[in-house]
Structure 1
Amino acid sequence: MNEFFTNYGLIILLVVLLIFMFWSSRRRMAKQKLEQEQRARQTVPGAEVLLQGGLYGTIVSYDPENLDQPAVVEIAPGVDIKVHSQAILRVVEPSDAPLTEDDFEPEASAPVVAPVDDFPTDDGARVTDDKSDAADPDAEPGTKPQA
C-alpha cells in the first residue's frame, strides 16, 4: 500500500487538483453569467447607473441581447456618451427621498453668536482684542498699551 502512494500519489494529487480547478472555474463562470443576466434585466432606459470610470448617468439605450453594441448613457442633460455594455458597473438604487435645499438650511433654534470685542479675565478685568498690541514689543499680550 505504501508503495502504491509512493508511485502514484503525485499523479492522484494532480488529477484531484485539476478536477477541483475545473469545478471551481465552471462554478465561477455560472455565477458571473447569473449576475450578468440580472444586471441586463435591471439595465433599462431611464435607470441610473454607475460606470467603471466612476461616472454616474442614466441609460438612454441598451440592448441586453447584443452586448457588443454600445450602450448610450446620459451623464448630463443633453450630453450622451456611448460606452461598452460591460462598462456599466451596476444599477444605482435611488434614495428614498431626494435632498432639497431646505435640508441644508440651519435650524431656527440654533443660537447665533456675534463676535466679541473684549474678553473677561479671571480677575474680572476686561481685555480688549485690538491690534495695537504689536506697537510695543515689550508689552504683555492681551493688555492695552499705555498712553
Structure 2
Amino acid sequence: MEIILFGLLAVLLVFMIFNTRKRQKQMKAEQEEKATKTVPGVRVLLQGGIYGTIVSYDPDDLDHPASVEVAPGVVIEVHSQAILRIVEPKDIVADDTELADDDLVVEADAPIAETPEETRARLDRDADDK
C-alpha cells in the first residue's frame, strides 16, 4: 500500500516539474514576442487599463522607462513591464451588400425613443397578449 502511495507521489511530482517547465518556456516565448513587436508607433495596453502608442522603448534595457503617448501630445513614462500586451487591430470585414435608397424605410410618425414609462407599458401589453 505504501509503495502505491509513493509511486503516486512520484508521478505527481514529475507532472508538476514538467508542467512548470512548460509554462516557463511559454512565458519566455511570449515575452520575447512582445519585445520584438514593441516598436515605436504600435498601440499597447498598459497594466492599468490605459491604451497608448509607443514613442520609445528599449527591449535590451528593461530598467529604462518606455515612453507611451496616451493622448495627442501627452507622453508618459512607464516601466517596460507595465506594457501588458500589444493591441492588434481587428480585421474589419465590409459587407458587400449595400442598401438601395428604397430598402431603407423610415416612418415619419415613429417615436425616436421611448420613455421608461412607455417601455414598461409596451412590455406589459406584450406580456398580456401572450
TM-score tier (shorter) = 0.5 to 0.7
Instruction: Figure out how many residues of one structure are paired with residues of the other and give that number.
Output: 102
Task: Say if 1:94 and 1:7 are closer, same or farther in 2 by CA, change over 3 A.
Answer: closer
Residues 1-147 of structure 1 aligned to structure 2 (within 5 Å): 6-95=1-90, 111=106, 113=108
- What's the TM-score once normalised by structure 1's chain length? 0.60
For residues 38-95 of structure 1, give each alpha carbon's deviation from its aligned partner in whole angstroms, at most 9, with x where no partner exists.
1111110111111121111000111111223221101012211111212212111235
Matches of 1:75 and 1:112 in 2, distance apart?
Answer: 43
For residues 80-133 of structure 1, give each alpha carbon's deviation from its aligned partner in whole angstroms, at most 9, with x where no partner exists.
111121221211123567xxxxxxxxx8x6647269xxxxxxxxxxxxxxxxxx
RMSD: 2.5
Amino acid at match of 1:83: V
- Greater RCO (Cα-Cα under 8 Å, separation 6 or more): 2
Amino acid at match of 1:29: Q
Matches of 2:8 and 2:65 in 1, distance apart?
Answer: 46
Matches of 1:57 and 1:27 in 2, distance apart?
Answer: 32
- Asked which structure has the greater CA Rg, the reply is 1
Matches of 1:36 and 1:27 in 2, distance apart?
Answer: 14
Gaps of 5+ in 1: 1-5, 98-106, 116-147
- What's the TM-score once normalised by structure 2's chain length? 0.67
Higher-helix-fraction structure = 2
Matches of 2:64 and 2:32 in 1, distance apart?
Answer: 16
